[in-house]
Chains A and B, each alone.
Chain A
Amino acid sequence: MGRRIGIEVSIALADAVKLANADVIAAYPITPQTHIVEHLAELVAEGELDAEYVPVESEHSALSACLGSSAAGARTFTATAGQGLELMHEVLYVASGMRLPIVMAVANRALSSPLSVWGDHSDAMAVRDTGWIQVFTENGQEVVDQIICAFKIAEDHNVLLPIMVHLDGFHLSHVIEPIEMPEESDVCEFLPPIHSPLTLHPSKPVAMGDFAPPVVFTEAKWAQEQAMSGVKKTIIQVWDEYAQKFGRSYHPVECYKCEGAKTLLFTMGSFSETAMSAVDSLRAKGVDIGLIRLRLWRPFPFEEFRAAVKGVKTLLVLDRSISSGGPGGPVASELKAALYNEADKPAVVSFIGGLGGRDITVDGFEQLITDGMRIAASGTDKEYEMIGVRE
């Protein structure tokens, strides 16, 4: 059994990296991620974590250093947010294409301009197609649990892909929560030492990152994609194992008060908890509403999602980013795509809100649900609704 303590989520995240006994940490500060790499620096400086701490000169180099250390077979961690993730963009594809099991925490942040250090999911959506496994977390406990699981998932020989653990900037990264920190010995049993099948070492020379002419590029991408499509099975296995050992279970898609509900609200990240309170309050008033939360964003859990919305009439989707000049909410449009071939598909009402750190309160969610139900009933010719805009 672990210890339950009151702790800032970023600090707890860094402690989880310590529990995972990372070998190399590449660090570059950016709000709201900075507390994570700061605390890791302290842990290394105090001798509590035996790791190489590489204080690089940019996020591009942070992830590049991760490529090197992971290719050399070391357990590797870094963290970033917003612009930092954008600066890594080019390197993200290399990490997944090379099948390097790097673990990265992303404290989600809006993208400039205007400059905003506060949270939304624009950074995550901008790197949606980079071939990384992506998990969204809801609270501090989940952040700790998912970081530990992330190493096990990424390093599994059926996976060998990099993974991002998303936590909402400030809304999650900077809050103090009661968190049960797992015991080191339990984590040791759960998470075996890393053993990459191919590494850079003179004892067995290999070439990594060759250039691929058109005759083989497609095959390389197909192989990577097949690994990705098998990942969900391993993820579920790892989460089940975690539940057995630590008592907390996680699923790609989770439902809250969905039984028999004809309308479901769809959320990702820490707003899910606020949305739950709104669902509670509306249910008490007799409104027929439930909540569906997506934890696994990549690979997208099509089966679980379709099963969860079976028989539902209306799906209200909250996006915390915008696909400019396109369909509005990137998540909503993916859900529409996932449902397109279904016979009895729900109507999707797309909302965009919570941009650049704008809070959405319980009242705000109640309003969103009420508006959404009205729009679904009357129909709309708008691609999406932008909520909370002050005129």
Chain B
Amino acid sequence: MQNLNIYASRLVSKEEPFAPGHRACIGCGEALAVRLAAKAFGPNTIVVNATGCMEIVASQYPYTSWQLPWIHTLFENSAAVASGIEAGLKAQMRKGTLPQEDINVVAIAGDGATLDIGLQALSGAMERGHNFLYLCFDNEAYMNTGIQRSSATPFGAATTTSPAGKVHAGQLSWKKNMPEIAVAHGIPYVATACPSYPFDLIEKVKKGLAVKGPAYIQIMSVCPTGWRCDTDISILLGRLAVETGVFPLYEVENGRYKMSMEPQKLKSLQEYTKLQRRFRHLKPETLAQIEARVVEEYENLVEKAK
């Protein structure tokens, strides 16, 4: 990734398929992540969007922020809709009713739409081997409905359905390891990315599109509204998520793990959590407990990538 930084900025497309002019909150990391990913799509792309922030901020009739063919149908079915589009294009091209060409089919969805309600549809689509790219924009909660917990919400984080109270302190379960679930489907490409590392993100989206078959990328997307953080630190927080080991960047090509970024030494978890009021209620013991688990999982991952 280091080498990439030197020249990649010049290679990045100036096109903005996800156009300026949408109604995301100030500092929204998810909107930035979508914009960067869209730069990698190219014009021959159809986008399927699950219900969630990115659908709402980009599609109020009669406006759209998309310069690409775009469809939204429901919260939990973007992988299944993408399956149908891929099948529909394939059949028509084979029968000669559509000209033969490479058309990318990309499904985009939040963590709720992916790890929770849409997991079955995603699993089915990955298992059937449709040629499509699935991007999960992970802001660690259901933000569009007003910050409710999802199975991507980290342990201890306060949301409106995992509030910090006298008895319970925020989210009571550990973040579901979705990339690992995708890997278990034996698909050709799985990766994690974060808009704080834009060239890496763009490169991974391109890779995901290039493989034949399903590709899955989980993209850490800071949400100032839901994380209760300042609106000008989204990039910083994304970096800290990577540098603390909370959200390691890696890719899995045909089952082979590779770290994309290996900090010399992980930063302390507190550097990350202290900037977000969703963690402010946590006691030092709990933070230590979380940190121990983060480090352990990170080391396991590094071991796999060896």
Contact = CB atoms under 8 A, between A and B. Distances in A.
Interface of A: 23-24, 26, 50-52, 54-58, 60-61, 64-74, 76, 90-91, 94, 98, 193, 200-202, 204-213, 216, 220
Contact of B98 (A65, A73, A98, A211): A73
The listed residue with most A CB atoms (<10 A of its CB), out of B44, B64, B80, is B80
26 contacts: A23-B95, A26-B84, A50-B91, A54-B83, A57-B123, A58-B124, A64-B77, A64-B80, A67-B77, A68-B81, A68-B85, A71-B84, A71-B88, A72-B88, A72-B89, A74-B88, A193-B97, A201-B98, A202-B44, A202-B45, A205-B66, A207-B64, A207-B70, A209-B59, A210-B64, A211-B60
Of all A-B residue pairs in the complex, the 9 with the closest CB atoms, nearest first, are A68-B84, A57-B124, A69-B88, A65-B84, A72-B88, A74-B88, A64-B80, A61-B80, A64-B77
Given A68-B85, A207-B59, A212-B61, A50 B80 contact: no
A8 B270 CA distance: 69
A52 B87 contact: yes
Interface of B: 43-46, 48, 55-56, 59-64, 66-74, 76-77, 79-92, 94-95, 97-98, 103, 120-121, 123-125, 127-128
A193 B95 CA distance: 11
Given A24-B87, A200-B46, A60 B80 contact: yes
Nearest to A21: B95
Contact of A73 (B63, B76, B79, B88): B88
A69 B87 contact: yes
Contacts of B77: 60-61, 64, 67, 91
Contacts of B80: 56, 60-61, 64-65, 68
B69 A200 contact: yes
Given A50-B91, A50-B95, A200 B85 contact: yes
B62 A216 contact: yes
B92 A23 contact: yes
Contact of B92 (A66, A73, A216): A73
Given A68-B48, A68-B83, A210-B60, A58 B71 contact: no
A66 B63 CA distance: 26
A24 B124 contact: no
Contacts of B66: 205, 207
A26 B80 CA distance: 10
A94 B71 CA distance: 11
B91 A61 contact: no
A64 B92 contact: no
A86 to B, nearest CB: 16
A209 B66 CA distance: 13
Contacts of A67: 71, 73, 77, 81, 84
Contacts of B98: 73, 201
A60 B121 contact: yes
Given A24-B91, A205-B66, A210-B60, A64 B84 contact: yes
B15 to A, nearest CB: 13
Contacts of A66: 84
Contacts of B56: 211
B89 A90 contact: no
B290 to A, nearest CB: 34
